[in-house]
C-alpha cells in the first residue's frame, strides 16, 4: 500500500492535508487557523480556508463520466441478474397496490377512474376520497406491506449488484433469500433515516440536506457490511466525511441525465400499444441504474476510507444458509406486520370515533331547529359521520343527516334506510326516510317504497307516492293510480303530482278521471298535472272546469286557460264562447276581454243576442275591454230595441266609451282649438 508522506519532510508520514492548498503535511508543518489545519506557508500568506479544502476529496472521488461508464459496464456484466431482480421487486409492488385496492372493494371505482381518466369530475373525486376514508385500515396495512416490498427490492438488488461486481456468482435464489433476511433491518434503518432527514428539514432545512448526504449509505452498510443500526450510521458518516460536495456534484449530474432519460421514455410511452410496455421497462431500467450508481459511489468511498472492521464473512451459497435464520426472520417480519396492522387499525378506529364524536357534538349543539341543522349538515361530506348522526337523539340532527345522505346518493346506503324505516316509530322521520330511500336506492329499493303505499298513516303514503314519482318507475304506475281512490284527500293530491312526474301518455286517463273527484284540491292537482304533461292539448278540460262549483277550481282553470290561449287554442275558445255552458261562456268572455283579443269580437257579439242577462252583460264588459269601434254601427240599433234596463244601461255606457276619441285624437283637437281662444276672449 502506498504510504502518504509529508510534502516538506518526505521521510515523515503525513498527518493531514492543508485546508488551503490541499497538500499533505506532517504534524510539525501544520498549524490551526479558523478551526482548520493549514500548512505553515499558507498560514504566513494569511490565506483563509475556502473551496480548496474540499478539492482533495473532489479529486479523490471519480468523475461522473467515469462513474457513468462504469455503471453501464456493470449493468452489461450481469444484465439479466440485475434487471430480473429489480423487475421482480417492482412487479411485487404493483401486485400489492392492486391487491389492496381490490381487497378494499375498489374494482368498480377503478373502472370509473379508467373510464373518466381524461375528464375527471368532482363527484368521482369525492367518491375516491370517501372510498379511501372508509378503507383506511386496509390501506394502512397494505401500505406497510408495500413499504416492506420496497426495502426488499432495494436489499435484493444491492446484494445482486455486489455479487456481479465482485464475481461471487451467487445463485438467484440465494440473492432473494438474503434480501428477505435483510428486508426488516433495511426497513427499520430506512424509517430512522427518513425521520432524521425530516427532523433536519423541520429544524432549519439545511440540517436536513446535511443529514441526507451524511447518512446516505446506511442502507449499503447494513445490507452489504452486516453492521448494526448505530454502526451503520457511524460508518456512513465516516464514508461521507469531507465528501459532501463531491457526492452532491456526482448526484447532480446523474439527476440531470436521468431526467433526460425520463423525458425520452415519456415520449416513447405515447406510442400506441408498444409504447406503454417499453415505457414501463424503461422506468424499471432507470430505477436500477440509480441503485447501481449509488453502489458505485459507496464502493469508491470504501476504497478511499478503507474497509470496515473485521467481521465474519457471509456464506453466499444457498445450501449453507441456515433455515432457522430465515424462519426466524420471516416470523419476525410477520409479527411486525401483524402488530403494525393491529396498531394502525386501533389508531384508525380510535381517531375516527373520537373525531366523529367531537364533530357530532358540535353539530348537535348548533342544531337548535331544522333550518340550523340543515345549514350545518350541508357542509358535511363525511359519510361515516353522517351515519353516526342517524343514531342521534336530536330529531333535527337525525333528519338533517337523512336529507344530507340522500343528497350524496350512495346506493350502499339503501339497506341502512330500509332498516331505519322498519325500526323508526316517528311518522315524520319515516316519511323522510322513504324520500331518502328513493334518492339513494336503485330498483331493489322499489318494493319497500311500494309497501309504504299501504301504510295506515297518510303521511307515509304521501311520501311513498312522491318517492315513486321521482323514480318514475313504470312498473309502479298501477300502484300510484290505485292511490287516486285513497280515502285521504292529501294522498290523492300527492298521487296526481306523482303521476305528473311520469310524463307519460298512460297517466292521462287516470288524471282525467281525477278531474271529477269530489275534492276541489284533487281536481286542481289533476288539472295542473294534465296541463304540465300536455300543455295546450288539454285546453278542453281547462275550459270545462270554468263551470266548476268551487271558486278555487274555477280560478285555477282560468289561470290555465290564460296560459294556454294562443293561435292553436283560439278556435276551441271561440267555439266554447258560442256553444258552451253559461258559466264557461262567462269565464271565457272575461278571459278574452282581459286579453283584448280582437279576433274574438264576432263570437262575443253573438252573446249579445242570448236571452240570459248575466251572459249579455259579460259580453258587453268584454267588448268594452276589447275597445273595437267597428261594432258601433251594430250597437246603436240594438240599444233602441233593448228593453232590459240593466242591459240597456250597459250598452249605452259601451257606446259612450267607444264613441270617445282616442287620447291622441283628443290632444290634436285641443291643439286645433287653442289658437281660437284669444280671439273669442277679445270679441267678448
What angle is formed at CA 478 by the lines to CA 475 and CA 482, rounded to 5 degrees? Answer: 150
* Cα(303)–Cα(165) distance, integer angstroms: 14
Average pLDDT, the chain: 77
pTM metric for this prediction: 0.45
Phi, psi angles (nearest 5°) of residue 183: -60, -55
pLDDT tens digits for range 280-297: 888 888 889 999 999 998
* Cα(457)–Cα(52) distance, integer angstroms: 93
Model pLDDT, residue 124: 66
Highest-pLDDT range among 36-50, 156-170, 466-480? 156-170
Identify any residues that bridge with 33 across adjacent strands, giving them in sequence order.
36
Highest-pLDDT range among 104-108, 414-418, 484-488? 484-488
Model pLDDT, residue 161: 92
Span of 27-41, 319-333, 497-511 with lowest mean pLDDT? 319-333
Model pLDDT, residue 354: 65
CA distances from 582 to 42, 612, 667 (A): 125, 9, 42
pLDDT band (50, 70, 90) for residue 308: low
Q: Does 156 have pLDDT greater than 90?
A: yes
> Measuring CA to CA, which residue among 543, 553, 556, 621 is closest to residue 583?
543
* Cα(662)–Cα(669) distance, integer angstroms: 11
What percent of the chain shows pLDDT beyond 90? 4
For range 308-334, the mean pLDDT: 44
Model pLDDT, residue 47: 55
pLDDT tens digits for range 10-29: 888 888 877 777 788 888 88
Q: Does 381 have pLDDT greater than 50?
A: yes
Chain-centre distance of CA 494, in angstroms?
35
Tell whether the torsion through CA atoms of 538, 539, 543 and 545 is positive or negative: positive
pLDDT tens digits for range 599-618: 777 788 878 778 888 888 88
Model pLDDT, residue 152: 92
CB 562 within 8 A of CB 591: yes
* Cα(333)–Cα(50) distance, integer angstroms: 49
Model pLDDT, residue 49: 52
pLDDT tens digits for range 543-579: 877 788 888 888 888 888 877 777 667 777 777 877 8
Phi, psi angles (nearest 5°) of residue 518: -65, -20
Would you say how long the chain is, in residues? 684
pLDDT tens digits for range 576-585: 877 878 888 8
* Cα(655)–Cα(633) distance, integer angstroms: 10
* Cα(405)–Cα(387) distance, integer angstroms: 8
pLDDT tens digits for range 24-38: 888 888 888 766 788
Amino acid at each position: 500500500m502506498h504510504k502518504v508522506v509529508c510534502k516538506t519532510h518526505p521521510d515523515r508520514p503525513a498527518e493531514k492535508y492543508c485546508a488551503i492548498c490541499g497538500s499533505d503535511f506532517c504534524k510539525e508543518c501544520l498549524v490551526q487557523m479558523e478551526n482548520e489545519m493549514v500548512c505553515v506557508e499558507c498560514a504566513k500568506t494569511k490565506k483563509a480556508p475556502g473551496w480548496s479544502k474540499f478539492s482533495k476529496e473532489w479529486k479523490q472521488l471519480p468523475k461522473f463520466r467515469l462513474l457513468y461508464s462504469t455503471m453501464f459496464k456493470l449493468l452489461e456484466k450481469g444484465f439479466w441478474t440485475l434487471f430480473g431482480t429489480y423487475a421482480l421487486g417492482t412487479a411485487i409492488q404493483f401486485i400489492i397496490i392492486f391487491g389492496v385496492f381490490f381487497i378494499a372493494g375498489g374494482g368498480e371505482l377503478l373502472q370509473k377512474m379508467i373510464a373518466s381518466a381524461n375528464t375527471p369530475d368532482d363527484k368521482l373525486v369525492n367518491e375516491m376520497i370517501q372510498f379511501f376514508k372508509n378503507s383506511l385500515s386496509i390501506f394502512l396495512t397494505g401500505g406497510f406491506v408495500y413499504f416492506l416490498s420496497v426495502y426488499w427490492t432495494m436489499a435484493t438488488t444491492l446484494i445482486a449488484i455486489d455479487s456481479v461486481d465482485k464475481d461471487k456468482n451467487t445463485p438467484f435464489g440465494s440473492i432473494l433469500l438474503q434480501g428477505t433476511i435483510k428486508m426488516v433491518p433495511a426497513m427499520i434503518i430506512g424509517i430512522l433515516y427518513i425521520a432524521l432527514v425530516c427532523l433536519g428539514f423541520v429544524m432549519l432545512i439545511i440540517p436536513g440536506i446535511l443529514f441526507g448526504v451524511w447518512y446516505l449509505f446506511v442502507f449499503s452498510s447494513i445490507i452489504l457490511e452486516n453492521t448494526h443500526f448505530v454502526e451503520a450510521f457511524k460508518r456512513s458518516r465516516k464514508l461521507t466525511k469531507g465528501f459532501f460536495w463531491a457526492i452532491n456534484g456526482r448526484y447532480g449530474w446523474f439527476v440531470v441525465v436521468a431526467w433526460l432519460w425520463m423525458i425520452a421514455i415519456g415520449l416513447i410511452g405515447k406510442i400506441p400499444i408498444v409504447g406503454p410496455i417499453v415505457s414501463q421497462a424503461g422506468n424499471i431500467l432507470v430505477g436500477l441504474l440509480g441503485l447501481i450508481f449509488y453502489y458505485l459511489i459507496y464502493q469508491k468511498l470504501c476504497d478511499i476510507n478503507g474497509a470496515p472492521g473485521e467481521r465474519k464473512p457471509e456464506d453466499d451459497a444457498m445450501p449453507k444458509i441456515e433455515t432457522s435464520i430465515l424462519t426466524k426472520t420471516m416470523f419476525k417480519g410477520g409479527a411486525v406486520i401483524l402488530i403494525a396492522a393491529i396498531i394502525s387499525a386501533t389508531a384508525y378506529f380510535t381517531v375516527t370515533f373520537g373525531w366523529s364524536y367531537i364533530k357530532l357534538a358540535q353539530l348537535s349543539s348548533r342544531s337548535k331547529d331544522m333550518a340550523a341543522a340543515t345549514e350545518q349538515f350541508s357542509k358535511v361530506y363525511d359519510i361515516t359521520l353522517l351515519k353516526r348522526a342517524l343514531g342521534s337523539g336530536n330529531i333535527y340532527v337525525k333528519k338533517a343527516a337523512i336529507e344530507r345522505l340522500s343528497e350524496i346518493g350512495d346506493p350502499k346506503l339503501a339497506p341502512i334506510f330500509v332498516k331505519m324505516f322498519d325500526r323508526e316509530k316517528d311518522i315524520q322521520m319515516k316519511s323522510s326516510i322513504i324520500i331518502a330511500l328513493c334518492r339513494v336506492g336503485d330498483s331493489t329499493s322499489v318494493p319497500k317504497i311500494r309497501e309504504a303505499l299501504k301504510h295506515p298513516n297518510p303521511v307515509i303514503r304521501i311520501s311513498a307516492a312522491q318517492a315513486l314519482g321521482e323514480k318514475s318507475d313504470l312498473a309502479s304506475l298501477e300502484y300510484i293510480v290505485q292511490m287516486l281512490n285513497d280515502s285521504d284527500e292529501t294522498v290523492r293530491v300527492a298521487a296526481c303530482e306523482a303521476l305528473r312526474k311520469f310524463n307519460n301518455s298512460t297517466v292521462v286517463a287516470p288524471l282525467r278521471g281525477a278531474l271529477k273527484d269530489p275534492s276541489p284540491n284533487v281536481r286542481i292537482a289533476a288539472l295542473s298535472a294534465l296541463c304540465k304533461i300536455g300543455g295546450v292539448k288539454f285546453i278542453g278540460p281547462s275550459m270545462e272546469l270554468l263551470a266548476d262549483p268551487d271558486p278555487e277550481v274555477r280560478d285555477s282553470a282560468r289561470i290555465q286557460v290564460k296560459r294556454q290561449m294562443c293561435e292553436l287554442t283560439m278556435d276551441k275558445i271561440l267555439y266554447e264562447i258560442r256553444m258552451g255552458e253559461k258559466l264557461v261562456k262567462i269565464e271565457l268572455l272575461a278571459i278574452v276581454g282581459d286579453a283584448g283579443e280582437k279576433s274574438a269580437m264576432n263570437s262575443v257579439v253573438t252573446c249579445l243576442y242570448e236571452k240570459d242577462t248575466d251572459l249579455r252583460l259579460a259580453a258587453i264588459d268584454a267588448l268594452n275591454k276589447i275597445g273595437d269601434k267597428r261594432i258601433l254601427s251594430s250597437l246603436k240599433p240594438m240599444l233602441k230595441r233593448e228593453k232590459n234596463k240593466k242591459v240597456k244601461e250597459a250598452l249605452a255606457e259601451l257606446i259612450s266609451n267607444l264613441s270617445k276619441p282616442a287620447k291622441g285624437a283628443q290632444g290634436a283637437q285641443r291643439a286645433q282649438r287653442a289658437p281660437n281662444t284669444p280671439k273669442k276672449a277679445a270679441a267678448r
